[in-house]
């Protein structure tokens, strides 16, 4: 960081694009929007962003003036030439307290102490002190050759902007950290994101957001693995490996023991793991967590369900082996390699044979010990469909700003607290998962619920009032237990503690999507679609047979045409079909209509 280039165009391009998840100070939606509007190209601009993103400058129109001047839409003018050197970096806008002090010193001959007193008076809006400084400033400016009317005008300008003045030294220190973190994300993205996740390991919302952000940058986040994971998040090539200490139920002592055992040789099987790692330090609880998190998937003799059902027998076998070694007794098997032992030890003697868990249950159990979905997400494949179809997700909900309150409260719905006017409500539909639920009893004795609803971008709170809850509670519990996506319909409730949804109805996502799908439309470019891609497309269409007709729209520089496929080539509009076809053509070419 002592040697980085603070004028790197790639860094400023990243910030200007709004791709700032994980970057210090500019992660919020408001900051992202401001970065995209300002298009910073210097650390001075970053310093200004920190000072501008406050209620005063945003509400006064000062931000718009700054942006218009920066981009040349409004000319930059200075009342006197001396102001140009002081206000050049902020495009003629008085933005910092230090600028107020510098103007007072340059134009009116203030001492440092006097300039600081002026800054305080302006900040506190002390009328008596301001009147005294007005006379003092005007006299000093006239003495330095300024016309009286010009001196008064400049003082009034200072007083106006000083209401929103910010401490530049504070904002500059923040700007340096903003640039440094943006530099790391630009040039060392996997390392930066891994460090960021390690720092926020106890914040589920942030970890979920950063995993999503990493994947959007084509940085895979790999599941925990007993042979490859470190204590915290680490980097493998261009991928991020999940850390073992982040798994619930796996403490530092167990991780140290595990890492020490594998330094001599990597584990070849779960049986090998249990024979070499002390079962006192890596006990039943630790093994359960490692299994559910998928940390044994690469070396396991059997599937997760069978492995989980076999823990008692596995520990019993491992404990016997370890006790013999501690007593100095050699085992008959000591002379054999691990592969030989596998041949001599029947799998059925230790491992039970169970049908593997379905993917939804596997992911649900994984989330219990990891805190979020890591090897996949129940909304994989669904998210883009929901965004295009329903138009809302948790991220858009958080960014929504309610219109001004209506003058008259609506006839229906729960009353407002404290007699405040009710804001206008907006109806939305949103697809996602029900992850947590808190049920309460109202004063009338009815039941209602506060629910955590999540999709790939994040999570939010949704509220089921008694009537809606009575109609949907069984479905809510089932959706939560099975990690099965649903579509909810309700109204946005915008408040100081964030936007929530007051839910009216819930339906299964797969069923709702199946009922709304009328046609699958593919838009293909004739100049870039290859015969191999079209052959792969045919395979996918035949694999996902169903009742939905398919239309292909061909586009070319000279013409556009459409082809409705025969009735014998109807498909099921499953998320996997959409995902597979988009992957074939390397772009989003599928629309469900």
**Angle at which helices 62-70 and 29-38 cross, to 10°:** 40
Q: Calculate mean pLDDT across residues 302-323.
A: 86
Burial of 466 per CB tally in 10 Å (0-12, 13-18, 19+): middle
* Torsion on CA atoms 326, 328, 330, 335, rounded to nearest 10: 80
Distance of CA 586 to the CA centre of its chain: 24
pLDDT at 421 over 60: no
Biggest distance spanned by C-alpha atoms of the chain: 104
Q: Which two tokens stand for residue 6?
A: 């603070």
CA 283 – CA 280 distance, rounded (Å):
6
Lowest pLDDT segment from 181-185, 239-243, 256-260, 498-502: 498-502
Q: pTM of this prediction?
A: 0.71
Q: Calculate mean pLDDT across residues 16-31.
A: 93
Q: Which two tokens stand for residue 385?
A: 């469909």
CB distance 179 to 6 below 8 Å: yes
How do residues 495-506 score in pLDDT, each as one tens digit?
777 889 999 999
Confidence of residue 127 (pLDDT cuts 50, 70, 90): confident
pLDDT at residue 330, as a whole number: 52
Q: Calculate mean pLDDT across residues 43-72.
A: 91
Distance of CA 555 to the CA centre of its chain: 35
Which residue, 582, 529, 591, is CA-closest to 554? 529
CA 210 – CA 14 distance, rounded (Å):
16
| Mean pLDDT across the chain | 87
More confident residue, 557 or 257: 257
Lowest pLDDT segment from 56-60, 181-185, 218-222, 402-406: 402-406
Three-class SS string for 398-422? HHCCCCCCCCCCCCCCCCCHHHCCC
Residue 239, SS3 per DSSP: strand
CA 123 – CA 133 distance, rounded (Å):
13
DSSP letter, residue 302 = S
Distance of CA 148 to the CA centre of its chain: 56
Q: Which two tokens stand for residue 99?
A: 């600028």
Q: Calculate mean pLDDT across residues 245-266.
A: 92
Distance spanning both ends of the chain, measured CA to CA: 51
How do residues 157-194 score in pLDDT, each as one tens digit?
888 877 778 889 999 999 999 999 999 999 999 999 99
- In sequence order, what are the residues at sequence separation of 6 or more whose Cβ sits closer than 8 angstroms to the Cβ of residue 575? 380, 381, 382, 385
Determine the length of the chain: 593
Q: What angle do CA 494, 483, 308 make, to 5 degrees?
A: 140
pLDDT at residue 27, as a whole number: 92
């Amino acid at each position: 960081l002592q040697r980085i280039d603070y004028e790197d165009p790639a860094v400023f391009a990243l910030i200007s694009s709004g791709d700032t998840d994980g970057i210090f100070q500019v992660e919020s939606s408001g900051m992202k929007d401001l970065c995209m509007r300002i298009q910073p190209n210097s650390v001075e601009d970053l310093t200004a962003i920190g000072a501008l993103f406050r209620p005063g400058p945003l509400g006064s129109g000062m931000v718009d003036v700054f942006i218009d001047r920066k981009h040349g839409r409004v000319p930059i003018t200075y009342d006197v030439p001396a102001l140009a050197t002081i206000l050049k970096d902020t495009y003629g806008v008085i933005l910092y307290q230090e600028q107020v002090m510098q103007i007072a010193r340059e134009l009116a001959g203030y001492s440092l102490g006097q300039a600081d007193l002026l800054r305080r008076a302006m900040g506190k809006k002390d009328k008596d002190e301001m009147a005294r400084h007005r006379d003092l400033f005007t006299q000093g400016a006239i003495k330095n050759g300024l016309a009286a009317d010009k001196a008064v005008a400049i003082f009034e300008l200072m007083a106006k902007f000083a209401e929103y003045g910010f401490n530049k030294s504070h904002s500059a220190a923040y700007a340096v950290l903003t640039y440094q973190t943006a530099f790391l994300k630009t040039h060392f993205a996997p390392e930066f994101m891994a460090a960021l996740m390690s720092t926020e390991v106890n914040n589920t919302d942030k970890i979920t957001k950063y995993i999503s952000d990493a994947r959007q940058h084509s940085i895979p986040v790999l599941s925990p693995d007993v042979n490859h994971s470190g204590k915290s998040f680490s980097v493998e090539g261009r991928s991020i490996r999940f850390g073992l200490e982040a798994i619930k139920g796996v403490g530092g002592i167990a991780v140290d023991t595990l890492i020490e055992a594998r330094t001599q040789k990597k584990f070849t099987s779960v049986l090998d793991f249990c024979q070499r790692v002390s079962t006192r330090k890596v006990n039943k609880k630790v093994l359960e967590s490692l299994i559910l998190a998928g940390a044994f998937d690469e070396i396991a003799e059997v599937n997760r369900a069978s492995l989980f059902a076999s823990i008692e027998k596995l520990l019993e076998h491992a404990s016997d082996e370890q006790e013999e070694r501690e007593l100095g007794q050699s085992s008959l098997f000591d002379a054999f390699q691990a592969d030989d032992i596998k041949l001599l030890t029947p799998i059925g003697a230790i491992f039970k044979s169970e049908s593997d868990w379905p993917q939804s249950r596997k992911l649900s159990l994984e989330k219990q010990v990891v805190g979020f979905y890591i090897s996949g997400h129940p909304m994989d494949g669904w998210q883009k469909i929901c965004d295009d179809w329903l138009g809302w997700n948790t991220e858009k909900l958080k960014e929504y700003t309610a219109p001004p309150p209506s003058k008259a409260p609506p006839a229906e719905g729960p009353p407002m607290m404290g007699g405040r006017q009710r804001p206008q409500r907006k109806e939305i539909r949103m697809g996602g998962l029900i992850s947590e639920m808190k049920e309460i009893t109202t004063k009338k004795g009815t039941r209602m619920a506060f629910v955590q609803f999540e999709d790939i971008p994040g999570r939010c709170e949704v509220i089921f009032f008694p009537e809606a809850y009575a109609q949907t509670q069984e479905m809510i519990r089932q959706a939560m237990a099975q990690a099965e996506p649903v579509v909810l319909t309700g109204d946005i409730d915008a408040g100081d503690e964030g936007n929530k949804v007051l839910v009216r109805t819930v339906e299964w996502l797969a069923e709702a999507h199946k009922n709304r799908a009328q046609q699958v439309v593919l838009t293909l470019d004739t100049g870039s679609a290859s015969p191999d891609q079209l052959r792969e497309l045919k395979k996918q269409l035949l694999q996902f047979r169903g009742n939905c007709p398919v239309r292909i729209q061909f586009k070319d520089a000279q013409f556009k045409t459409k082809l409705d496929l025969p009735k014998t080539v109807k498909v099921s509009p499953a998320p996997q079909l959409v995902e597979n076809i988009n992957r074939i053509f390397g772009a989003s070419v599928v629309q469900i209509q």
